[in-house]
Structures are given as C-alpha cells and as structure tokens.
Structure 1
C-alpha cells in the first residue's frame, strides 16, 4: 500500500498540459492539514480466493511545517488465509518534502508480526522543476539512484492530481519517487479523475471538514518505472476532496483487495511561520 501523498523517463500527460508548479497550485491554497484514521476491510469477491478475511487500520497525518510538508503514516494489515494461518504485517513512514517540490527525506519501517524487519532511510533532491535528480539511500544499503527528468515527489504529485480535478483535466501520467517500491523507489503512475461527486453525497464519516466540499473519484494505476508492462502492479481508487482529505480507498493487489473507510478525522493547526 502506498503513500497517499503514495509516478518513463519521458513525461506524458495523455495530450494535456501538466498542472502548474506546486507553488502556484490552487490545491495548495485550499489544503487542510489533518490527521485521519481508516478501518481496513476485505472486499469480497476480489482476487484468487487465497485470502479469506482481512482487517487492520491505517493512521495518516499530513502537516504544514512551514518549510515543507510532513507526512506520517502507519498501517497494520491482518490477513486470514483460506488454507489456514494468518499474516500480520505493516509499515510506518515519516517523510518531509520541500514546498517547492525539490527535496525529500524519508524513513520507512516494515513490520512482520509486530517486529521491524527492515528500515529504509534516505533523502532525494531534484535539480529544478522538471529536471533530473538523485536519491541517496542510507539504509538498508547505502547507494544512490538517478532520478530521471520530470520525476515528482509524492506530495507534489498529490497536489497536481487535485489540481487536475479542479481544472477539469481528466488524466495525469508521471514518474514518482516515494522510496517505497522495489524498483528503486520509482513508479510510473497513471491517474484518472472521475466525474465530480455531488457535494451532498455522504462520506463514510460525518465531518465538517469535508461537508459540502467538491470531491472526485480518483483512480491510480502503478506500473514499473521503465518498460512496457500491460497491467499495473497495484491499483488504487479513492474519493478525494478539494482540501486534500480522502475517503473510501480501495486497494487492488491482484490476489486480494482492501477497502479503507474513514473512521476518525481531526484538523491540524496551521503553523505560525
């Protein structure tokens, strides 16, 4: 499961001009820092039947910290297997991203049975908007990865997707570095914006933070960063609101699928910078 803020060396936008740089983004201007918790549930009838049950929790925080955007996410998933036995796994991430979209720091921990078995730590930077860059991993193995021109970091990418919805552009295809994937942290992400959802359509949680706001169904497909894979490795769709909040995630991993329902939501104060 990827970071919601959680993508080809050549940029593609299916014939549409890309949204404006992050500094002039309407999505940034309307953003609401927040903390949210989601209940994870198995979606019946999806996959190959190897997973009989699923549950878990996703806790998410997205804050404005003056010089950048700070994101924290912690996820635990428990899968009951059809042939017996249970898988208990999860991950936690802490990231910081500069508001100009040119610098990124990350720490990702992966858990099995409640114990940390891997830590991924490092930082990345881009030379300029649309330019190339470099990612430096400190853990688990020290190494450097070249970032192709046009690479985006996850928060910049998220704001651009919301801008696409606000401006009526139905699709965005970009290379994103979020450090989480096995392909050097890079993924090619195809984002399709569905039609606007009526403002009175209820969310899974009654909250003044999202009441009567514009929202859209957003569909994401994650592909390997290079090559010509016909099918995505992971598919995610969700309801995204104009202020950056999200509800009703659906994660399709092929052999099983999960839904994340918004259960708790609270605003975070804007900092005094």
Structure 2
C-alpha cells in the first residue's frame, strides 16, 4: 500500500458499520505464518480489498484545520505476473471558520512481481474538479537504475537513481528487514505519485511482533507484524541541502506479513489523519 499523497475519492456506503466493527462477507482466508529465516516473496502478499475509516488525529498550531474525516478503499489483485492495485481515498477538511473542502483522488498501478516495471495513473480532485493528473510507465534494471516515461501532466522522461524500489517490492524489502532484526531501511522509492521521479525514503522499523489475536480480523491472527514509519523526502531538496531536510510527508503503519495494513497515521505536517481498517476481504485472481 502506498500513501505518499493525499489521494481521495468518496467511497459512499462502504463504512456503514461503527468504527472498529469489521464487515467481511468474503474474509481473507487464514494462512500459516512464514517461518522467520525464510524470506517473504511476492507470492506471500495477499490479494485483498480493505476499507478504512479516516479521522483527524491531531492538528498543529498555527494551522487552520479544525476537523478531517473520510474513507479509503484499497484493492490489490494478483494478476499472475504482476499486482494490479487501486487506491481511492476521500477526505473532507474543515477549517476553523467552518468551511469544508472536499479532496479526492483515484490512484491505480500495475507492478510486475519481479519489481522491474510499473504502470501508473493518478487523478486528484478538489471540490469535484480535477486539479492534476499523473500517468506513465517506469522500468528498472537489476541495479535499480531506470527511467520513467510520463504521458501526463506532460510527455517527458526522468532517470531513476541506483537502488530505486517500486511500491510492492518496497513493502517486501521492509517486511524482510524487520523480520531480520533491522531497524532502518533507506532507499529511493518510485510509486508514480510524483511528476518528478523517485523520492528518497527513510523507514524506521519496530521489532518484529509474533502472531497475536486480532479482534474482528481472524485471518491476521496467525501472522507476524511490524510497525513502521516511512518519511518521504524531495530528492532535489535533499541534494541541495546536503541530505538534511524535513520530510515532505510521513506515514506510520502496522503491516502484517501478508502485506495488509490495518492501522495508519498520515502526517501532512499541518495535521495528522488516522486510518483504521473496518473491512477486509479476499479478491480472486492469480494464475
């Protein structure tokens, strides 16, 4: 799951249940935990659809945000040789004068399971009007260098630096790092949400947690998990500032070893939004 932009689309009717109550007409089937010492691979990620309730966690002074609420729907499908994902996310912001602003986006990707190619589209909206579109295709070589060919907002190419990771591979790399006892992963990430190529990321990892009972989502109970905080940095600002810059955005998540995230905090500097998973179900697919 990638959450590097405030991306929103109204998900009407998805979250009718009270916060914290799961709805799972087709729940994710339980699977055994992968033994520590065995690396997680693309085949271990779960094809799934998850819905999240979003709410304001805190607002920072002297900001002007008084409230935030919305919903997010994330879906990832096993398309045999790759992962097809779609993220739709809605958020209504209310300022201190009571004015409401509705923002929305629809973000889709197809990433090959070898982590070498990514097709992407992102449409962002404010008050129902389209404000930006990003689309194109990225291709990496074995050392992580590569090129992005954009078709929107303009036709152009951007080079990708050595070690660049695509979204699902980044998830697998960070999960394996946590399972191996690492506490830090630093890597360029390209997910198609920026018109300027890769972003630098720093991921801080907690200790790996053993399986535990997960109320409402029994399919997660046999699995290990980790809490991580991912900071995103503008590469140009990093290079101009000698590497010491403030993150443009940060997100904290609890990831289970099958790639499902059930809790998140999205830090947009002026305010922080909490996301809580309220629905999880299987999505058919595969070879």
Provide TM-score, normalisation by structure 1: 0.85
Alignment partners' CA distance in 1, 2:234 and 2:262: 26
Aligned to 1:3: 2
What SS is found at the alignment partner of 1:155?
helix
Distance in 2 between residues matched to 1:107 and 1:125, nearest whole Å: 15
Alignment deviations for residues 129-183 of structure 1 (CA, whole Å, 9 cap, x no partner): 224211011011111111112111111111111111222221110001112135x
Q: Which position in structure 2 is the counterpart of 1:257? A: 272
Identify if the C-alpha distance between structure 1 residues 131 and 49 changes in structure 2 by more than 3 Å, giving closer, same or farther. Answer: closer
Contact 1:195-1:216 within 8 A present in 2 as well: yes
Please give the alpha-carbon distance, in whole angstroms, between the structure 2 residues aligned to 1:267 and 1:109: 26
Deviation at 1:68, TM superposition (A): 0.7
| 1:223 partnered with 2:228 | no
Task: Let me know the Cα RMSD of the aligned residues.
Answer: 2.1
Secondary structure of residue in 2 paired with 1:54: strand
CA distance in 1 between counterparts of 2:204 and 2:80 reads 30
Contact 1:37–1:262 under 8 Å retained in 2: yes
Aligned residues: 250
Deviation at 1:36, TM superposition (A): 0.3
- Per-residue CA deviation, residues 86-105 of structure 1 (Å, 9 max, x unaligned), is 11102111100111111110
Please say if residues 46 and 255 of structure 1, whose CA atoms lie closer than 8 Å, have aligned partners that are also in contact: yes
User: Would the aligned equivalents of 1:170 and 1:192 in 2 still touch at CA under 8 Å?
Assistant: yes
Q: Determine the structure 2 residue equivalent to 1:235.
A: 250
Cα offsets for 1:247-267 (capped at 9, x unmatched): 110011111000000011001
**Hey, what does 2:179 align to over in structure 1?**
166
Give distance in 2, aligned partners of 1:233 and 1:212. Answer: 35
- Assess if the C-alpha contact under 8 Å between 2:93 and 2:100 holds in 1: yes
Which residue in the other structure is 2:167 paired with? Answer: 154
3-state SS of paired residue (2:207): strand
How much does 1:202 deviate?
Answer: 4.0
Aligned to 1:194: 206
1:87 pairs with 2:101: yes
Structure-1 residue corresponding to 2:136: 122
Q: Could you tell which deviates more after superposition, 157-166 or 73-82?
A: 157-166
| TM-superposition CA deviations, 1:26-83 (whole Å, max 9, x none) | 1424221110011110013545341101101111011210111111000111000013
Further displaced range: 26-35 or 105-114: 26-35
- Structure 1 runs (4+) deviating above 6 angstroms are none
- In the alignment, structure 1 segments of 5+ residues that lack a partner are 7-23
Match of 2:190 among 166, 172, 177: 177
Structure 1 counterpart of 2:8 = none
TM-score by length of 2: 0.81
- Cα 1:5–1:46 shift into 2, 3 Å: closer
Query: Residues 22-101 of structure 1: matches in 2 within 5 Å?
Result: 25-44=39-58, 46=60, 48-101=62-115
